[in-house]
Structures are given as C-alpha cells and as structure tokens.
C-alpha cells in the first residue's frame, strides 16, 4: 500500500489538534500582531514558553504514526509493527527541526506545505537512516501532513487578523481551536460540505460580518440570533439552486443582506422585518412580493438581478417610496420581461444605477431595457452596465440624464455614432488594448 494514501484518508480533524500542540497557545490580541513571527518563537518545545517536553514530543510523534497506521484499516498496514517505534523516533527528530527553522510564519505560508516539509526533512537527513522504504514513505507523509496543517493554522492565526476566509471542510472544532475567538469580526466560510450547525459561531462575540458560500448543509441561521451580525451573505453555485436558510427573521441587527440563492415561498416575509436593513441583494427572481420592501424605509442600496413579469406598477411604486435609496441595480429574469414602469414615475434619489444582464439577453434587448428605464432616474450620476457577453450597446438613451458624470461598461463597448459629452467619464472593463 502507498502510505501517502493514508495521509489523504487521515482526517484533518485528527491531525490539526495534534499539530496544534507543537505551538504555544496564543493570548488575546495574538491575531493582530503587526509583524511576522519567527517559527522558532511559536513552537511549544523550545524557549521561554516551553510547555512540551522532549518526552511529550516523542509521544506526539508516536501518536501521529499510530493514527496513520490505524486509519489504513485492516489488511492495509503501511509498515511492519516493529518499525512503528523507529518511524516515531525519526518523526520526532524531524519535527524538532521546527524550532531551528530560519523563517517566520509569513515566509512559511508563502513557501507552501510541500516545500516546507522538504526543508524539515533536509535539515535532519540522518533521521531516516536505517528505515525501510515503506517506513521512509510513512515518515515523509507524516512530515508533509504536519507541514500542511501548520500552514493552515498559520494562515488562520497569523495572516487572518480579524478578517478570515476559510475554504474547505474545516470542522467547527478546528475553527474554534485555531481562530482568535474574541478578535474575529469578519468570517467567510467557503466550500464547506460538512458544517451544518452554526451554533459554534456564538463563541465569536465580535463577529459582525458572515459569508457562507457553498455550505449546503446549513439549513438555519437561527443560532446566530444573539450575535450582533451587521452583514450576512449566503450564496453558492447557480447550478446547485441553494435555498435560503431558515431563521433569517431572527437576525434583528442586520444592515446588509446578500442572498444569492432562492427565496422561500413567503418571499420577503422571510427576511428580518425588525432589522435596520440598509442594503439588500436578491439574486433569485423577484415579482409581486416586492411590495413588502416598505418594511425597511431606510434602504440605501438594492440589487434585484432578476425581475419577473409580475414586478409591476405597485412594486415600482414601493421602490419609489424609499426616499433614502441612492444605489439601485436591476436585471430581468428572462427575455421578453418588460419593466412596466408607471407613467411619470420618478426616483430622483437614486444616484448610482446599474443594469445587469444576468439572463444573458441579446444586447439589443438590454438596450431596450436601458431606454425604457433611464427616464425614471433623472438624478443618476453614475451609470454601470454589465453586459456579461461582449458586444456593443447604444449610449444615446443617456441623453435624458442631466446629472450624469460617469459611465462604466463591463464587457461592452459603445455603439459608433453617439459620443458621450466630454465631461462624462467613460471606463471599460476589460480595459481596451491600445
């Protein structure tokens, strides 16, 4: 059997707590250290902060080897039983080299786990003398997994500061053990197929911003009701049709809510009506239920990427009633949807207007939407058009915007024949080659 397979099958939930013992426990404020920290100053078996004896280090190495052997399962033993002690001794010798590494935590992260493991092995080449080939492979696997876990922990501890993004199947216990609980203000949990219960986040008293991206087992955010969350984003790949988690109505401190997933049947009634919402993004189709937006009269920014056929006069009227609305973005759910703007409707409070081609409409259809929408927004100073497909679009409808100062085109370029006035700044993405 290839011992490297053991490393793959040995869950990080087993390795990380063991590796964590190699390093000193951080006190309050450790996550905010402004300068890089020497690896030798972080280890727990050397220096003034020593808590791990040489005997403890050998015991930890033996446990790492034992877990690797046991994880192989019956009939797949990676090495002979009488070699386990020798591999554990070799691993302890190699791990002791962490205390002699001439680098800091930032350099270790930049170096990467594989190269860091190579540095450790090269520093103690005598450690594996006399070992069989299988024993050498198992030793190398343990060192690589240790380096990987170290990199993960240092990314969280040393580089995360109060704003952390965690990608992959970290367990709640690992996050609680690695992050400075009292300091984390913003947490982004991405592509985590295992986390389901968010109750562990109650241990982060300073948490203000939370992003959940592609966390399919999270069904409720109700456990976060007692946190003073200001911003919540829930999203995932479009093809997975992620559902909005239950319990949103209990998050009474939210000011920003981004939902790039499907609304439940109750529509806006599922949102926290008592929260002081200021910014709202809805990626799912929005129609007649939008009249409920008046529950949040102090809205300042709204993005509705997919208006449907039943987003009509009443819904536009509700939008117009939001006197503090300065930033509005919209698109339509499919080709053929008309805006149904009431005659004479005006939203002069809107200063930034964005049109998003989320439905990948022909650009002629996007031009039609633009021409029908712009008269209702006479106060617009910044116009942003997101084409999603390369092509040209007519900017002649912008002539009805007396306060326009800037036009931003994303994957679009102006149709020839209509030049913007010289005082209007035009920016394009991607930037045209010169």
Domain ranges of the chain: 3-159, 162-277, 281-434
Query: Does this model's pTM top 0.75?
Result: no
The Cα-based distances of 278 to 258, 294, 297 in angstroms read 11, 12, 9
Q: Which CATH architecture has domain 281-434?
A: Alpha-Beta Horseshoe (3.80)
CATH class of 162-277: alpha beta
Compute the distance between CA of residue 339 and CA of residue 332 in angstroms, rounded to an integer: 8
3-state secondary structure of 23: strand
3-state secondary structure of 279: strand
Tens place of pLDDT for every residue, the chain, 434 residues? Answer: 333 333 333 334 456 667 777 777 654 333 334 456 677 777 788 776 678 888 988 898 888 888 777 765 555 666 777 788 888 888 888 888 888 888 876 677 667 667 777 888 888 888 888 888 878 877 777 777 666 666 665 555 544 456 777 777 778 887 887 677 887 888 888 888 889 999 999 999 999 999 999 999 999 999 999 999 999 999 887 777 777 889 999 999 999 999 988 777 788 989 998 999 999 999 989 999 899 999 999 999 999 999 999 999 999 999 999 999 999 999 999 989 999 999 999 999 999 999 999 899 999 999 999 999 999 999 999 999 999 888 899 999 999 999 999 999 999 999 887 789 999 999 988 877 65
Do residues 6 and 138 make contact, with C-beta atoms less than 8 angstroms apart? Answer: yes
What pLDDT is attached to residue 27? 44
Compute the distance between CA of residue 167 and CA of residue 302 in angstroms, rounded to an integer: 28
Q: Which of 165, 168, 173, 40 is nearest to 108 (CA)?
A: 40
3-state secondary structure of 195: coil
3-state secondary structure of 243: strand
Do residues 22 and 45 make contact, with C-beta atoms less than 8 angstroms apart? Answer: yes
What pLDDT is attached to residue 185? 86
What pLDDT is attached to residue 217? 92
What pLDDT is attached to residue 106? 65
Do residues 113 and 151 make contact, with C-beta atoms less than 8 angstroms apart? Answer: yes
């Amino acid at each position: 059997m290839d011992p490297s397979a053991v490393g793959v099958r040995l869950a990080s939930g087993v390795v990380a707590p063991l590796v964590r013992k190699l390093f000193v426990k951080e006190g309050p404020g450790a996550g905010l250290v402004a300068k890089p920290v020497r690896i030798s100053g972080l280890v727990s078996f050397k220096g003034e902060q020593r808590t791990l004896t040489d005997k403890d280090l050998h015991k930890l190495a033996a446990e790492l080897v034992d877990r690797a052997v046991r994880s192989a399962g019956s009939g797949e033993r990676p090495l002979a039983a009488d070699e386990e002690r020798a591999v554990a001794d070799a691993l302890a010798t190699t791990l002791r080299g962490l205390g002699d590494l001439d680098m800091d935590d930032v350099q270790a992260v930049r170096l990467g786990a594989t190269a860091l493991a190579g540095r450790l092995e090269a520093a103690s080449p005598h450690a594996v003398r006399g070992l069989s080939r299988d024993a050498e492979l198992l030793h190398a696997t343990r060192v690589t997994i240790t380096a990987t876990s170290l990199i993960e922990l240092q990314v969280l501890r040393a580089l995360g500061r109060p704003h952390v993004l965690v990608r992959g199947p970290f367990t709640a216990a690992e996050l609680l053990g690695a992050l400075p609980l009292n300091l984390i203000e913003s947490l982004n949990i991405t592509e985590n197929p295992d986390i389901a219960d968010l109750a562990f986040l109650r241990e982060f008293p300073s948490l203000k911003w939370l992003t959940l991206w592609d966390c399919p087992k999270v069904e409720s955010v109700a456990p976060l009701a007692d946190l003073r969350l200001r911003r919540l984003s829930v999203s995932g790949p479009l093809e997975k049709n992620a559902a909005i988690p239950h319990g949103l109505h209990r998050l009474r401190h939210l000011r920003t809510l981004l939902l790039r997933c499907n609304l439940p049947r109750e529509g806006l009634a599922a949102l926290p009506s008592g929260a002081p919402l200021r910014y709202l993004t809805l990626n799912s189709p929005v129609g007649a239920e939008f009249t409920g937006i008046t529950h949040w009269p102090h809205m300042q920014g709204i993005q509705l990427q997919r208006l449907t056929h039943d987003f009509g006069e009443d819904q536009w009227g509700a939008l117009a009633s939001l006197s503090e609305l300065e930033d509005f973005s919209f698109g339509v759910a499919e080709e053929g949807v008309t805006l149904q703007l009431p005659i004479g409707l005006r939203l002069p409070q809107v200063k930034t207007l964005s049109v998003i081609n989320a439905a990948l409409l022909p650009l002629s259809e996007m031009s039609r939407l633009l021409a029908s929408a712009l008269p209702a927004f006479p106060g617009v100073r910044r116009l942003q058009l997101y084409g999603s497909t390369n092509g040209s679009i007519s900017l002649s409808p912008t002539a009805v915007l007396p306060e326009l100062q800037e036009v931003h085109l994303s994957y679009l370029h102006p149709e020839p024949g209509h030049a913007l006035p010289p005082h209007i700044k035009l920016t394009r993405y991607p930037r045209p080659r010169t």
